[in-house]
């Protein structure tokens, strides 16, 4: 049974992994036996994160730049070897009332949260298809299913991630790929720092969530290992909510 979840001999690329959820997932996949490649735009941040994890590989590129992504992934595959697992984690948030939401911020959200998933997913999948195997895990959100005031554009982008995940599975399952998403609820991360620091919001969240608390990023690791491993060999196009029950209740 342990072999079903083992990632020994597998290599995983995780975008946006110098901090937060991406870093926690990197640590968890390493503990499950995978070789992890950290990605981000800042080489200094990547180097610091890599040192903390014991000197793992890094691959710096801007996930919103299609040509740069393609060059980086193709170069890595040619020089180092196969990327067996891709975790599309890069993302951002911008909060403002919808009637006042800046157009440039909306475009940046689209590029960072949606275009990056397409760019890196396509670049990596081209190699996976040739090998007849691969795992792609997109980080969606509780906002893939729900909305909240002040983040309508973010909600739109995460809804798109959920549907793009279904599209990836529909196109690529026949080539041996499993493409799924993890949808975190409210987790204590740098992206949510302002909300964590807001006593009124934290009180509301604890009452709204059946589990009665914020999530810890380490609680996402099990879902990622499952979707990265042989245990999920017939799971495709699925969004797995890890949210303390918030999407299950009114």
Active site residue 186: no
User: What are the residue boundaries of the structural domains of the chain, listed by start?
Assistant: 2-241
In the chain, beta strands by DSSP E:
11-14, 35-40, 57-60, 85-88, 134-139, 177-184, 239-242
**Predicted pLDDT of residue 190:** 82
**Predicted pLDDT of residue 191:** 78
**Predicted pLDDT of residue 1:** 62
Encode pLDDT of 61-108 as tens digits: 999 999 999 999 999 999 999 999 999 999 999 999 999 999 999 999
HEC string of 216-249 equals CHHHHHHHHHHHHCHHHCCCCCCEEEECCCHHHC
Question: What percent of the chain lies above the pLDDT cut of 90?
Answer: 95
Pick the CATH number of 2-241 from 3.40.50.720, 3.40.140.10, 1.10.10.10, 3.40.50.11030: 3.40.50.720
176 close to 133: Cβ distance less than 8 angstroms: yes
**Predicted pLDDT of residue 39:** 98
| CA atoms within 13 Å, Cβ hemisphere of 197 | 6
Mean predicted lDDT score pLDDT of the chain: 97
Among 61, 154, 214, 241, the one annotated catalytic: 154
- The three-class DSSP label of residue 213 is coil
**Predicted pLDDT of residue 233:** 98
- Tokens matching residue 64: 């919103």
Encode pLDDT of 5-23 as tens digits: 999 999 999 999 999 999 9
Q: Report pTM.
A: 0.96
**Predicted pLDDT of residue 239:** 98
**Residue 201 banded pLDDT, cuts 50, 70, 90:** very high
Encode pLDDT of 156-175 as tens digits: 999 999 999 999 999 999 99
User: Which of 173-182, 188-197, 199-208, 231-240 is least confident?
Assistant: 188-197
**Predicted pLDDT of residue 189:** 86
Radius of gyration of the chain (CA): 17
The pLDDT of residue 180 is above 70: yes
């Amino acid at each position: 049974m342990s072999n079903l979840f083992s990632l020994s001999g597998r290599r995983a690329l995780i975008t946006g992994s110098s901090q937060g959820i991406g870093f926690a997932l990197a640590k968890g996949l390493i503990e499950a036996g995978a070789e992890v490649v950290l990605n981000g735009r800042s080489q200094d941040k990547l180097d610091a994160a890599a040192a903390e994890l014991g000197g793992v590989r890094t691959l710096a590129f801007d996930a919103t730049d299609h040509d740069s992504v393609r060059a980086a992934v193709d170069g890595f595959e040619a020089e180092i070897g196969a990327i067996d697992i891709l975790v599309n984690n890069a993302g951002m948030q911008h909060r403002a009332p919808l009637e006042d939401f800046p157009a440039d911020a909306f475009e940046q959200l689209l590029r960072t949260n949606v275009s990056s998933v397409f760019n890196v997913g396509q670049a990596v999948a081209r190699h996976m298809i040739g090998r007849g195997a691969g795992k792609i895990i997109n980080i969606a959100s509780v906002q893939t299913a729900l909305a909240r005031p002040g983040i309508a554009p973010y909600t739109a982008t995460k809804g798109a991630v959920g549907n793009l995940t279904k599209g990836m599975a529909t196109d690529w399952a026949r080539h041996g790929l499993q493409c799924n998403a993890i949808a975190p609820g409210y987790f204590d991360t740098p992206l949510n720092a302002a909300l964590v620091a807001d006593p009124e919001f934290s009180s509301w969240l604890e009452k709204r969530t059946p589990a009665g608390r914020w999530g810890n990023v380490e609680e996402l690791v099990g879902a990622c290992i499952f979707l990265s491993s042989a245990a999920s060999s017939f799971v495709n196009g699925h969004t797995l909510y890890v949210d303390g029950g918030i999407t299950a209740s009114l």
